[in-house]
């Protein structure tokens, strides 16, 4: 399994499509910062990533004082750092004032239709909620706005057709429609990341750039494939077909840490995942992530998370119960 697939397996993604819109020009709406809508969309979420998929027509996205970005049918955009932005039929329009956001999001997916009667744009809005540390690693180095056109990928036509089908099912009395939309939101997000990796230009840094690099990607693949192995820089360099110095330099430049520092961070993230999702004893988890003793594992975990594993596990269980109470009707 490659490093991206392994990381996505560990990242706890919770997705949903919450708006299905048909706008006619002129139109404009304001999307607030992700952290301000997180309590409404996914109570208790540590990190929220908003995305839009244009299924018909065209529009622009404006963010702060940056130049407007034109979007066409098939374009998907995500906002890795959760910036506020405007979606508009043309730059410079004043956003419409509508219902309070909590009322708009009370029923999902919400059907929206408004505008001045001109050319039509259809789009869907969704989000992915995920663990903050894993998301921080996965999204590190990404620009404030990531745009790809999914119609250029093999999965694009299937994705768009599936979203349209699932939106129709969400309005039907048959159960399961929301669940299908949630899974499609996850698939769309992953496809955007995969396409972006293939399209990113020279000079990009961050974890995804490292995965796409021949040398660094090979080292990441080895560490993700066998996280419990007692890797050394020499071994990783051999796996990557590189010298120690070249691997260390490229890894630091792209990923922002040394290979050994990254290995420790990855092991701790795996351990946190196991502590959260299983009842496995600490000794078993320690062995799974490459530590021979509970003491060594607890020391490393406390350095990374600020609490020993057992206490951290209890805290996470309490928070999970509180989140469940928040979303309970």
Residue 287 structure tokens: 């062995």
pLDDT tens digit sequence for 287-310: 999 999 999 999 999 999 999 999
Closest CA to 85 of 123, 52, 131: 52
Residue 160 structure tokens: 């768009």
pLDDT tens digit sequence for 78-113: 999 999 999 999 999 999 887 666 676 666 678 889
Find out whether 55 and 76 touch, Cβ atoms under 8 Å: no
Model pLDDT, residue 103:
72
- Phi–psi pair at 121, nearest 5 degrees: -125, 130
| Confidence check: pLDDT of 319 > 90 | no
Residue 155 exposed, middle or buried by CB count within 10 Å (0-12, 13-18, 19+): middle
| Confidence check: pLDDT of 192 > 70 | yes
Closest CA to 12 of 126, 127, 128: 128
Round to whole Å and give the CA distance between 112 and 122: 10
Residue 80 structure tokens: 């890795």
pLDDT tens digit sequence for 217-237: 999 999 999 999 999 999 999
| Confidence check: pLDDT of 168 > 90 | no
Round to whole Å and give the CA distance between 10 and 269: 8
Q: Phi/psi class of residue 206: alpha, beta or left (left: φ > 0; alpha: ψ in -120 to 50)? A: left
Round to whole Å and give the CA distance between 91 and 58: 12
242 versus 168: the higher-pLDDT residue is 242
| Confidence check: pLDDT of 45 > 70 | yes
Structural domains in the chain, CATH included, are 3-199 (2.60.120.280), 207-317 (1.10.10.60)
Round to whole Å and give the CA distance between 41 and 267: 30
CA angle 93, 79, 1 (to 5 degrees): 155
In sequence order, which ranges of the chain are alpha helices (DSSP H)? 3-10, 34-41, 101-104, 132-139, 156-170, 177-199, 207-212, 214-225, 233-240, 244-255, 259-277, 282-288, 294-305, 309-327
| Confidence check: pLDDT of 201 > 60 | yes
pLDDT tens digit sequence for 243-267: 999 999 999 999 999 999 999 999 9
Sign of CA dihedral 64, 69, 74, 77: negative
Q: DSSP string of 288-312?
A: HTT-SSHHHHHHHHHHHHSS-HHHH
Round to whole Å and give the CA distance between 217 and 307: 31
Give the number of other CB atoms < 10 A from CB of residue 230: 9
Round to whole Å and give the CA distance between 128 and 322: 20
Averaged confidence pLDDT in the chain: 88
């Amino acid at each position: 399994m490659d490093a991206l697939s392994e990381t996505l397996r560990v990242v706890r993604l919770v997705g949903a499509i919450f708006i299905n819109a048909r706008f006619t020009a002129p139109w404009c709406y304001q999307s607030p910062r992700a952290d301000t809508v997180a309590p409404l969309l996914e109570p208790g979420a540590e990190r929220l990533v908003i995305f839009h998929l244009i299924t018909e027509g065209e529009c622009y996205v404006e963010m702060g004082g940056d130049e407007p970005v034109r979007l066409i049918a098939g374009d998907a955009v995500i906002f890795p750092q959760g910036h506020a932005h405007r979606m508009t039929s043309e730059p410079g329009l004043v956003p419409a004032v509508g219902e309070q956001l909590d009322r708009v999001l009370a029923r999902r997916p919400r059907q929206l239709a408004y505008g001045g009667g001109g050319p039509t744009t259809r789009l869907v809005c969704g989000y992915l909620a995920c663990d903050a540390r894993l998301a921080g690693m996965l999204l590190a180095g990404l620009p404030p706005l990531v745009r790809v056109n999914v119609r250029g990928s093999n999965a694009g036509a299937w994705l768009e057709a599936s979203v349209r089908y699932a939106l129709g099912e969400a309005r039907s009395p048959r159960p399961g429609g929301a669940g299908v939309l949630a899974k499609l939101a996850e698939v769309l997000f992953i496809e955007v990341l995969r396409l972006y990796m293939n399209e990113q230009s020279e000079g990009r840094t961050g974890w995804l750039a490292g995965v796409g690099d021949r040398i660094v990607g090979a080292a990441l693949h080895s560490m993700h494939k066998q996280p419990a192995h007692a890797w050394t820089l020499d071994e990783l360099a051999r796996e990557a077909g590189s010298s120690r110095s070249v691997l260390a330099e490229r890894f630091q430049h792209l990923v922002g840490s040394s290979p050994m520092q990254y290995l420790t961070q990855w092991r701790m993230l795996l351990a946190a995942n196991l502590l959260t999702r299983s009842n496995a004893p600490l000794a078993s988890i320690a062995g799974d992530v490459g530590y021979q003793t509970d003491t060594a594992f607890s020391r490393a975990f406390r350095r990374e998370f600020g609490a020993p594993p057992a206490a951290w596990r209890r805290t996470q269980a309490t928070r999970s119960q509180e989140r469940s109470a928040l979303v309970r009707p």
